[in-house]
Structures are given as C-alpha cells and as structure tokens.
Structure 1
C-alpha cells in the first residue's frame, strides 16, 4: 500500500505532511494555478479531509519503478458523490514532489470547489503559521562555521 494512502486513510495529518517534499507541487482539481510548497499543500490536504465525507480509496495503480502512483477514491461533499484520482510522483527519497488531483462528476467538482472555498481562509492562515514557524526555527539556528 502506498504510504500516502495509508496516512490519508488513517487521517494522520502529521504522516501526510511528513511525506511531502519541501518543494512539492499541488495541482488542484478546481484551481487554475498549482500551489507550490509543503506548507500550503499540507494545509490544503487538511482542508480536504475536513470537507470530504465517507472518503475511501478504491484502487491503487503503481508504476514498475514505484515513483508514480494513481490512487482512485470516492467521497461525498455536501451530499454530492465525488469520484477522483490522486496522481502522485515521488523523489528518490520517497517524498511526494508532485500531487495532482482530478475529480468528477461536474456537480461533485462544484460541491468540492464551494466547500474548499469556505475553507480557504483557514487554509491560508495555517500555511502562513507554518511558514512563520519555519522562519523562527531558521533564525534561531546558529550559523555553521566552515
């Protein structure tokens, strides 16, 4: 089983975030422009877990090299059935560098877009808080002497 699938099915937010590369690119099924970086991607995924009901994966497809995966899922959003797929690419360390999500049908995509739109203020605040926390950690780390 793909580690991302296991983390999502367990709703383990820390494990999900730990699987993301710092420079991960998230391509949303409802936004035109991809989102870059671990803080915003992790916040979006937390938002998704808040809006999806009855979420479960139904199929997993992995390439022979194990770096590209497709995880097919079903869920409900605001009473609308959503079918979708998480397309995942990992780097040599197993970190997710690209995550593209596609959903159908159109009514489900509209419901997801509306629900995520309601979440987006919280998502942005969570991402900013993580960036600020990282900056504080970086500033408190003494410079290395070479």
Structure 2
C-alpha cells in the first residue's frame, strides 16, 4: 500500500496511524496472540520504528480480490542483527488497514526483535491505553 509505505519511509507515524482502521488486527512476528485495535497497533508501530535501524522497503506487491492485499518486503537491523521481513496488509472497503501481519527472518533477527520490543512492552501498553482513552 503506497500511502503506508510512504508514511513509514518518511517517519510520519501520525499518518501511519491515520491509515489504520479502528478494528485493525496486528499480528506480530514474535508473539502468537494477535493485537486488536488501532491504539495498540499504533503504539507497537511507534516502538518498532525506534527499534529498527537502517529500515528500508525493497519491494511492494499488490493482489487479491479488488487489489486489497499488499505485501511490503523490507530489510533492517536490530541490535546489530540483520533481518528481512514482510508487512502483509489488507485494506477494508474504506481503504483503511484492517489487517497487518509482519513476518521476519532469520531466527537471530527475530530473537533480537523480540528482545528489543519485549523491553519496551510496558511503555507500549501504557501508550495504547492512553491513546484509547483519549479517543473515547
């Protein structure tokens, strides 16, 4: 999805958040349980933007029914570990992201990502709670 890619590449996390549907479901590459909702998804994306170093998208693929499925292939580093991954995005009928699934490899990169995000997860949760309260 071009708008998401451009917002991420520009570091415009407010624009990224504006592209998320209220009922978006984020599926992490390192946690089994999906995270439902805009507030937690935005907080996770804000944190990961601080964790990833030298992040760049390399390819963009679009397909699926009505062109609503997208894959953005990326590379980055986390704590000195190289990783590659893919953001799988589905958009709803309004053009907002309602599913965001991230996958990364190799295992050493996924482990570095899990450790870095795990260390921030209390702050991520607090930010999400504050955002959800402000939105209601």
Cα offset, 1:92, TM superposition:
1.3
**Gapped regions of structure 1 (runs ≥ 5):** 136-146
Q: Which residue of 2 aligns with 1:98?
A: 99
Structure 2 Cα separation of the partners of residues 76 and 43 of structure 1? 20
The residue aligned with 2:88 is 87
SS at match of 1:94: coil
Bigger relative contact order, structure 1 or 2 (CA pairs below 8 A, ≥6 apart): 2
Instruction: Give the Cα–Cα distance (whole angstroms) in 2 for the partners of residues 132 and 59 of structure 1.
Output: 36
What's the offset of the Cα at 1:66?
Answer: 2.2
| C-alpha RMSD of the superposition | 1.0
Instruction: State TM-score, norm by structure 2.
Output: 0.97
1:66 aligns with 2:64: no
Q: 2:3 corresponds to which residue?
A: 3
Residue ranges of structure 2 left out of the alignment (5+ in a row): none
Partners of 1:43 and 1:93 in 2: CA distance: 22
Find the residue that maps to 2:72 and give its secondary structure: strand
Map Cα deviations across residues 100-119 of structure 1 (whole Å, 9 max, x no partner): 00000000000000000011
Residue 27 (1) aligns with residue 27 (2) = yes
Could you tell me how far apart the structure 2 residues matched to 1:18 and 1:106 are? 32
Q: Map 1:102-113 onto structure 2 (within 5 A).
A: 102-113=103-114
Q: Distance in 2 between matches of 1:41 and 1:110?
A: 20
In our comparison, the structure showing a higher alpha carbon Rg is 1
Structure 2: distance between partners of 1:121 and 1:71: 28
1:105-144 C-alpha deviation (Å, 9 max, x unpaired): 0000000000000111110111010111123xxxxxxxxx
Alignment of 1:114-129 (within 5 A): 114-129=115-130
Q: Please list every run of at least 4 consecutive aligned residues from structure 1 whose deviation after the TM superposition is greater than 6 angstroms.
A: none
Q: TM-score, normalised by structure 1?
A: 0.90
Query: Does 1:52 find its partner at 2:52?
Result: yes
